Amino acid sequence: MADTVNPSAFEAATASRAGRNVGARKRKGFLSAEEVTAWLLVGPWVLGFLLLTLGPMLASMVLSFTDYPVLRPPTWVGLQNYATLLHDGLVGQSLKVTTIYAASAVPLGIASGFFVALLLNQPIKGRAFVRTVYYLPACVSGVAVALVWLMIFRDPDGLLNSLLRMVGIEGPNWLMERQAVLPAFVLMSLWGVGAGAIIYLAGLQGIPTELYEAAQIDGAGEWTRFRHVTLPMMSPILYFELVMGIMGALQTFSGPFIMTNGGPANASLFYMLHLYRNAFRYLRMGYGSALAWVLFWYIMALTLLVIRSSSLWVFYAGEGKSG
Amino acid sequence: MPLTSSKKRAYAVKTTVVYVLLVAGMIMVTLPFFWMVSTSFKARWAVFAYPVQWIPNPFVWQNYPQAFAALPIGRFMWNTCVIAFWRVIGVTLSSSMAAYAFARLEWRGREPLFLVVLATLMLPGQVTLIPEFIAFKLLGWLDTYLPLVVPAFLGGGAFDIFLLRQFFKTISRELDDAAKIDGCSRLAIYWRIILPLSKPALITVILFTFEGSWMDFFGPLIYLFSMDKFPISLGLRLFEQQRHTDWAQIMAVTNISIIPILVLYYYGQKYFVQGIVFTGVKG
């Protein structure tokens, strides 16, 4: 799991500074004052990891083999939860909904954020101001975003359909039609591409100008420079954002919870909504744990898929082609 | 190399296109904000009027006092601040402590434990959700702020540790050595030298923790039940459920709820940008 964040990349960059300290290494066998201090300082984190991450993960794995309606103690049911899960049509439906959403919102979000960053990277006046404006939606909480867009998507008199009518288009009933509800959520997610744009802009500004100059001397046009300098140099950042974006999108909750509650006809039943209902509404903690593990492995599998594919398209400067 | 006139023209066209696209994008981004503010000052009947009423007419500022009278909005904001305050204290303290140990101290287990920190950075939180809930329930912590606040004191987030560690590593070690000669303990070095020198990174952590805490919805949703304990995220949803047709007042409360973060972003923009860039580029 650790290699997903590619620790070696920054470890290599910082290794020369670290590990120079001598002292403590000499006395093996008992704890030096330095080691005692270190363990005291990481103590809270270690405790947190054991009590809030590792412990709960193990507990949740055990719980997923039990029936646990909270009010009564858990009873062992073996693989029954997982069997139920296979026949729970809503699991398939919610996985489908969540996957379609992630597969459209994440690439579209990255592409438009990257496009905004490319525009911002041009020699323009007032770049700081424009950047500030694009980032503003990221300051709005999920609940507030949901409420605003609930109003905008209203049919027939919401802002979006009113504007569409002004140009002669009859918009769909965004949140009430099965075909329109996921596109509505994707559209809403695109409001927040500014945060990504800031990341890409910083990346673009970090590309050495010599590379562009060398390419220009070789007669490369604008498109060739973009294709063979900008894209390869940006690919690690795009890759990282892709992984984080997929993880985030698969865990979408507050938007659909507040705006549609999964409707119409489960067309926006995101996975987390299904999990929340089972665990905290129906208090099926055992089944909820099984659902959580399915999401966990689904996220891991998709992440792994992206990592595997990364060696084909992610370029790390100074390492040649490697993932 | 003087530019030929056709090149000049191409450059002018390109610049114009860039500006047009950027301005169009800015209009799309700001339109919902404009709509939020505009709606909050409208009469009820004017909210969904067609043709679209951009400037409220009549201008109904009373939506704000009426919204405040309908539900204890001030109380919700105060509760959010209380939770955010303790989370900020907890995260800043415990993540900087761990980061110092990872960045500056020599101890067995440092490298493997840091890999664990990085692994948790990528861990989806759902698998820990249910057991945590059950544990907090057994402790009798439901409907208190403890499930939201106590975890902050146990290490903060992996991202915070990672960011602070990278920053601490850039501070010159000669300062440590000088302090050691003066008889400073390692704890004193952490507290008197490293922390004061790391203000930019600490501010970034504080701002992101505050923002995250302010926006958190899922945590309060599963742990808090009494209205008088609600933070603004739950308060907003409650308000929408109770007056789901009165969009002018809903928008008034929504606007109030986002102002603190906008103010924070305005004054701390430098640190926000640093933090965002750090997560995206160095991560």
What are the tens digits of pLDDT across the range A92-151? 999 999 999 999 999 999 999 999 999 999 988 888 899 889 999 999 999 999 999 999
- Of the candidates B47, B132, B262, which has its C-beta nearest A139's C-beta? B262
Residues of B in contact with A52 (CB under 8 A): 128, 132, 151, 154
Query: What is the rounded distance in angstroms from the CA atom of residue B283 to the CA atom of residue A243?
Result: 11
Q: What count of other Cβ atoms lies within 10 Å of the Cβ of residue A142?
A: 18
Highest mean pLDDT among A24-28, B122-126, B220-224: B220-224
Per-residue confidence (pLDDT) for residue A12, from 0 to 100: 42
- Of the candidates B48, B153, B277, which has its C-beta nearest A157's C-beta? B48
Q: Which stretches of chain A are assigned E, i.e. beta strand?
A: 66-67, 75-76
* % of chain A with per-residue pLDDT over 90: 65
Across the range A222-240, mean pLDDT stands at 90
Average pLDDT of chain B, as a whole number: 91
Asked whether residue A15 carries a pLDDT value surpassing 50, the answer given is: no
- Of the candidates B124, B217, B247, which has its C-beta nearest A254's C-beta? B217
- Hey, is A11 helix, strand or coil? helix
* % of chain B with per-residue pLDDT over 70: 97
Across the range B197-222, mean pLDDT stands at 94
Residues of B in contact with A200 (CB under 8 A): 280
Å between A168 CA and nearest CA of chain B: 13
Across the range A29-44, mean pLDDT stands at 87
Q: Check CB contact under 8 Å for A136 and B48.
A: no
Q: Is residue B3 very low, low, confident or very high in pLDDT (cuts 50, 70, 90)?
A: low
Å between A220 CA and nearest CA of chain B: 16
Asked whether residue A18 carries a pLDDT value surpassing 80, the answer given is: no
What single-letter DSSP state applies at residue A279? I
Chain B touched by A5 (CB under 8 Å): yes
Per-residue confidence (pLDDT) for residue A41, from 0 to 100: 95
CA-based nearest residue in chain A for residue B159:
A5
Per-residue confidence (pLDDT) for residue A23, from 0 to 100: 44
Q: Check CB contact under 8 Å for A143 and B233.
A: yes
SS (H, E, C) chain B: CCCCHHHHHHHHHHHHHHHHHHHHHHHHHHHHHHHHHHHHCCCHHHCCCCCCCCCCCCCCCCHHHHHHHHCCHHHHHHHHHHHHHHHHHHHHHHHHHHHHHHHHCCCCCHHHHHHHHHHHHCCCCHHHHHHHHHHHHHCCCCCCCHHHHHHHHCCCCHHHHHHHHHHHHCCCHHHHHHHHHCCCCHHHHHHHHHHHHCHHHHHHHHHHHHHHHHHCCHHHHHHCCCHHHCCHHHHHHHHHHHCCCCHHHHHHHHHHHHHHHHHHHHHCHHHHHHHHHHHHHHC
Query: What is the rounded distance in angstroms from the CA atom of residue A224 to the CA atom of residue A28?
Result: 57
Per-residue confidence (pLDDT) for residue B126, from 0 to 100: 87
Nearest of B126, B198, B141, B255 to residue A63 by alpha carbon: B126
Query: What is the rounded distance in angstroms from the CA atom of residue B213 to the CA atom of residue B211?
Result: 5
Residues of B in contact with A129 (CB under 8 A): none
What are the tens digits of pLDDT across the range A159-216? 999 999 999 999 999 999 999 999 999 999 999 998 889 899 989 988 998 999 999 8
Across the range A7-24, mean pLDDT stands at 42
Average pLDDT of chain A, as a whole number: 87
What are the tens digits of pLDDT across the range B233-262? 999 999 999 987 899 999 999 999 999 999
Asked whether residue A24 carries a pLDDT value surpassing 50, the answer given is: no
Per-residue confidence (pLDDT) for residue B83, from 0 to 100: 97
Across the range A16-23, mean pLDDT stands at 42
Q: In sequence order, what are the residues at sequence separation of 6 or more whose Cβ sits closer than 8 angstroms to the Cβ of residue A112?
A: A190, A193
ipTM reported for the complex surpasses 0.85: yes
Chain B touched by A317 (CB under 8 Å): no
Asked whether residue B283 carries a pLDDT value surpassing 60, the answer given is: no
- Of the candidates B18, B100, B120, which has its C-beta nearest A41's C-beta? B100
Burial readout A248-265 (b: 16 or more C-beta within 10 A, e: otherwise):
bbbbbbbbbbbbbebeee
Q: What angle do CA B35, A158, B215 make, to 5 degrees?
A: 55
Residues of A in contact with B37 (CB under 8 A): none
Chain B touched by A148 (CB under 8 Å): yes
Across the range A247-271, mean pLDDT stands at 94
Provide the residue count of chain A.
323
Across the range B195-213, mean pLDDT stands at 93
**Weakest-pLDDT range from A226-235, B46-55, B206-215:** B46-55
Q: Check CB contact under 8 Å for B97 and A147.
A: no
- Complete DSSP assignment for A18-34: TT---GGGG--SS--HH
Structure tokens at B240: 């929408």
Per-residue confidence (pLDDT) for residue A318, from 0 to 100: 59
Per-residue confidence (pLDDT) for residue A71, from 0 to 100: 84
